[in-house]
Amino acid sequence: MAAGQAHAVGYRYWSFWERDGSTWTYATQGPSTARPADGAVQGFRFAVSENSADAARPRGAAGFAAICARTPRQDGTKRVALVIDFGTAADAPSGERPPAARTACARVPRDATTAEALAAVARPLRYDTNALLCAIAGYPEKGCGEQVSGKAEATAAPQKPDSGSDGPSVGLIAGGAAVAVLGAAAVWQARRRRA
């Protein structure tokens, strides 16, 4: 029990990943500011995590060629492969069951962000007032980056061993939210100047 108490607090949220070959890397920008190139593979994983060093990565090995095989190129657009991992039952909010993981190929304008690519294939999306991504394809129905006690999780899923999958710290989440808000403000300001 002492080891479990040392890791008693985590946060339930969607983490954002970029894939290079077969390796997932925690994204350094938020999905509302990242502008992936044609052929990029981006991932999202819903989990309870403590810090980014050991955050749960999206599962599945499908690459761009497999995910976007049926989505032909079109002038003026790019294709972004998305891996959406809804996590495990142990990470799900009370009363909810995670959908099966899925992949999708978004064909979007060349200057589109990852958030725009995600919106093209996995609606409805839900964000909080700080532009933190709260739900993909309507999952979860409620909540957003809430703190989760390890003790409550152990009660909900006593048979699940510690997977060692930790997520970002509060500072990283707050920093990511700040970057997302600044990015959204910059887009709004640029559109306002054009008008």
Write the pLDDT tens digit of every residue in 102-130: 999 999 999 999 999 999 999 999 999 99
Q: What is the mean pLDDT of residues 136-141?
A: 98
Residue 189: its pLDDT value, please? 56
Q: Where are the domains of the chain?
A: 2-156+166-194
pLDDT for 151 beyond 50: no
Q: What is the mean pLDDT of residues 146-172?
A: 50
The amino acid at 154: A
d(CA 132, CA 155): 28
Helices (H) and strands (E) in the chain, counts: 5, 8
Q: Rounded to two decimals, what is the model's pTM?
A: 0.74
The helix, strand and coil proportions of the chain, stated in percent and rounded to the nearest 5, come to 30, 25, 45
Q: What is the mean pLDDT of residues 19-24?
A: 93
177: its two tokens: 């939210």
Report the range of poorest mean pLDDT among 31-35, 77-81, 117-121, 161-165: 161-165
Would you say 130 and 13 are in contact if contact means Cβ atoms under 8 Å apart?
no
The pLDDT tens digits of the residues spanning 53-66 come to 878 999 988 899 99
Q: Is the dihedral of CA 175, 11, 141, 67 positive or negative?
A: positive
Residue 73 confidence class, pLDDT cut points 50, 70, 90: very high
